[in-house]
């Protein structure tokens, strides 16, 4: 009964907040996904941030009033996770190396994040970690 009530609340609430997360995790789970996997703390943090849409970048920093612009300093477009991992010119070489193993596109990010223990997700966490460090370092 509690699970049904929580799912109903989740469904209603996701219409206005958490739409991104709803596309990744459409049904609530009685057990957290992290209970059943072996993953480094860093990748668990990245997975949680990616799945919730709170990845550290200019878009999020701008929303938190930490940076003056939500745009990528290299490309001039909004710096969200899709841009950092899939589009940013700064990460082109890294992306090409990883894409030899897995083909990504914007529509597949949600599918990959829905299965955080998959090889594709692990590769995406690794690529995201490197890209984000690459965007901070200068």
User: Residue 138's pLDDT band (boundaries 50, 70, 90)?
Assistant: very low
Q: Residue 103 has what pLDDT?
A: 62
Q: What is the pLDDT of residues 10-21, one digit of tens each?
A: 888 877 776 667
Distance CA 22, CA 48 (A): 14
Averaged pLDDT, 18-41: 76
Query: What does DSSP assign to residue 83?
Result: I
Residue 70 has pLDDT above 90, yes or no: yes
Domain locations along the chain: 1-30, 33-136
């Amino acid at each position: 009964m509690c699970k049904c009530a929580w799912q109903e609340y989740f469904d209603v609430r996701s219409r206005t907040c958490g739409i991104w997360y709803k596309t990744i995790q459409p049904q609530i789970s009685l057990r957290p996904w992290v209970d059943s996997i072996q993953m480094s703390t860093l990748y668990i943090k990245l997975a949680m941030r990616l799945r919730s849409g709170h990845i550290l970048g200019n878009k999020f920093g701008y929303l938190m009033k930490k940076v003056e612009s939500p745009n990528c300093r290299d490309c001039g477009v909004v710096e969200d996770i899709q841009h950092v991992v899939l589009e940013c010119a700064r990460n082109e070489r890294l992306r090409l190396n990883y894409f030899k193993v897995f083909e990504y596109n914007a529509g597949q990010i949600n599918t990959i994040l829905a299965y955080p223990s998959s090889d594709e997700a692990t590769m995406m966490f690794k690529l995201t970690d490197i890209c984000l460090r690459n965007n901070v370092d200068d």
